[in-house]
Amino acid sequence: MTFYDDIYPFYNMRRTSFIFSGHLLTVIVCFLVTALCLLLILPGIRGKPRLFWLLRIVLSLFIGAVIVALNFADNWAEARMTTNATYKSFSNAVVHADIGLHVGLYGINVTLKGNPVIQLNETIDYNEMFTWHDTIEEEYKAALEKGLPNPILYIAEKFTVNSPCGLIFHYRHSGRYASATLWSAFCCWMLANVLLSMPVILYAGYMMLATGAFIFISTAAFTAVKNAPQCIFSIGKASFEAEYSLSFWLALATGALCTIIGVVVVMMNFLVPEKIKEAFSVGMETCEDEDVSYGETYLNSAILDHVTVSPGACLTPSFSQIFVLKT
């Protein structure tokens, strides 16, 4: 047994790397459980409406899950490179590794993976998270105490308050605005789902348009970072710069999907209002829904002489107007 259990460079705390966002995992599990519960009612829906309800459930939950997940995703912007870099401070040891930077709305995720993974008698596979909501200075100090590799410390230092790049100010403010507008989009999405279950389909379409608009505003808020002077990350002989990644393009695609759904609902409400009400099963009352058998009955003609029934209307006499013969 060597000094401090042979943890290079001899710090008494073991490295615990960031693996997966717990908030993101919670969002995924919650929406999957909700989708499973709603899909259980599909066998009780007969005919063609079953396919429509399946499409409606899948699309609605997909949009809601994406909106919430985008708040906790760490890949709005990414950068990767493979280079030779100094591994530890006060050491000339060099490793060949893949380095990655992943930027989210609440912080950054820095990865360092050796190529090959085992070098210098160590397993080089780091995945560290740094958040900038008033804690990045403390997290950077803790990273120094852990003795994290130089490439990770170098990238994290670029996002500290004292860094001349000023990245923390650009990304923190743009992330806050993007997150706020995404939560506004989530509220509009919930209102749209409530209104789709009521005979006000037109306003549900308007709320879907508002959902798409807020998502577009969130992407516009994040793109404001590109207007600021860019900071180039140079490690070894290579350099890289963060570019838009999966979450950004997914946000744009979801906003376009919400806009298309809103436009279709609004147009159909003006062109074929009865059809769209029938599709969403609101405001439609038919005699086919009432499958009640009274047995052999006699109607009171004295009451029905002055009753006028419009075409297509459903006439259901009350028990005070009929005499039921029990067989």
Look up residue 251 and give its two tokens.
């946000």
Length of the chain counted residue by residue:
327
Q: What is the mean pLDDT of the chain?
A: 78
pLDDT of amino acid 299: 56
Q: What percent of the chain has pLDDT over 70?
A: 77
Higher pLDDT, 215 or 268: 215
Contacts of 255 (CB under 8 A, 6+ apart): 211, 212, 213, 215, 216, 219
Give the containing element (helix H, strand E) for 272. none
**Paired sense of beta strands 243-244 and 296-299, if any:** unpaired
pLDDT of amino acid 249: 94
pLDDT of amino acid 106: 87
Higher pLDDT, 298 or 244: 244
Q: Assess contact for 53 and 40: CB atoms under 8 A.
A: no
- Taking alpha carbons only, the member of 291, 261, 290 closest to residue 276 is 261
pLDDT of amino acid 172: 86
Task: Report whether pLDDT(304) > 70.
Answer: no
Q: Is 311 helix (H, G, I), strand (E, B) or coil?
A: coil
Q: Is 8 helix (H, G, I), strand (E, B) or coil?
A: coil
The pLDDT-based confidence of 163 (bands split at 50, 70, 90) is confident
pLDDT tens-place string over residues 101-152: 999 888 888 999 888 888 888 888 888 888 887 678 888 888 888 888 899 9
pLDDT of amino acid 300: 58
Q: What is the pTM of this model?
A: 0.75
Q: How far is CA 317 from CA 27, 190, 300, 305, 325, in A?
A: 51, 40, 10, 13, 15
Q: Assess contact for 207 and 188: CB atoms under 8 A.
A: yes
First to last CA, the chain: 94
Mean pLDDT score, 152-159 = 89
pLDDT tens-place string over residues 43-70: 777 767 777 778 888 888 999 999 999 9
DSSP 230: P
Contacts of 3 (CB under 8 A, 6+ apart): 10
Task: Report whether pLDDT(158) > 50.
Answer: yes
How far apart are the C-alpha atoms of 77 and 243, rounded to whole Å? 5
Contacts of 35 (CB under 8 A, 6+ apart): 57, 58, 61
Task: Report whether pLDDT(5) > 70.
Answer: no
**Paired sense of beta strands 77-86 and 94-103, if any:** antiparallel
How far apart are the C-alpha atoms of 165 and 230, rounded to whole Å? 8
pLDDT tens-place string over residues 172-224: 888 889 999 999 999 999 999 898 888 788 898 999 999 999 999 999 999 88
Task: Report whether pLDDT(17) > 70.
Answer: no
How far apart are the C-alpha atoms of 204 and 198, rounded to whole Å? 9
pLDDT of amino acid 289: 45
The residue whose two tokens read 């992943």 is 102
Q: Is 21 helix (H, G, I), strand (E, B) or coil?
A: coil
pLDDT of amino acid 320: 45
Most confident of 31-35, 173-177, 247-251: 247-251
Phi, psi (deg, nearest 5) at residue 80: -140, 150
- Taking alpha carbons only, the member of 85, 88, 89, 92 closest to residue 115 is 85
Q: Assess contact for 106 and 133: CB atoms under 8 A.
A: yes
pLDDT of amino acid 47: 67
The pLDDT-based confidence of 238 (bands split at 50, 70, 90) is confident
pLDDT of amino acid 187: 94
Q: Assess contact for 278 and 201: CB atoms under 8 A.
A: no
Task: Report whether pLDDT(6) > 60.
Answer: no
